[in-house]
Amino acid sequence: MNKLVKDERKVLKGKRFTLLKNIENLDEKERADLGTIRDTYWELGEMSMMKECLRNIYSIADYAHEAKIVFVRWCELAIETGIKELKTMAKTIKQRFEGIIAYWYTGFTSASMEDFNNKIGWLQRQAYGYSDLEYFKLKIYDLPKLKIIKDL
């Protein structure tokens, strides 16, 4: 935004979450804003469309072989755009391809594992100074019962 002229900045000012939200969660004003951004800024428009395409793979592909085809095509399109960030994303998808496709075989994601690892990290920050490692391990076993609530 720093490189844009003052008038151009106004189009993007405060629109970050409009770009990040799922398209079905946008209200009418946000949809209009998204359309303006897509029309005005080619790269942001491409990235927004590619984000939605990537999200839709999970609702469209019923089987692993379908998902493989669509992911490969998405990666090809991402590279063709020439946008550095999309190329990086395509490279990451290719590197993690088997793990991503495993979702269609198992029906599971790593979300619960990520959540549990975040709780362990939280516990480590709270437990700074614990000298008893066995007590810390017991606290980890107790984590599934723990609800972490942030103070507002």
Question: What HEC string does the chain produce?
Answer: CCCCCHHHHHHHCCCHHHHHCCHHHCCHHHHHHHHHHHHHCHHHHHHHHHHHHHHHHHHHCCCHHHHHHHHHHHHHHHHHHCCHHHHHHHHHHHHCHHHHHHHHHHCCCCHHHHHHHHHHHHHHHHCCCCCCHHHHHHHHHHHHHCCCCCCC
Q: Which two tokens stand for residue 41?
A: 């800024």
pTM: 0.68
Q: Provide the 10 A C-beta neighbour count for residue 57.
A: 16
**Average pLDDT over every residue of 110-137:** 80
Whether the per-residue pLDDT at 146 is higher than 70: the answer is: no
Which carries the bigger pLDDT value, residue 50 or residue 107?
50
pLDDT tens-digit series, residues 35-69: 988 888 888 889 999 999 999 998 899 999 999 99
Lowest average pLDDT, out of 22-36, 68-82, 119-133, goes to: 119-133
Q: Where are the domains of the chain?
A: 61-109, 111-145
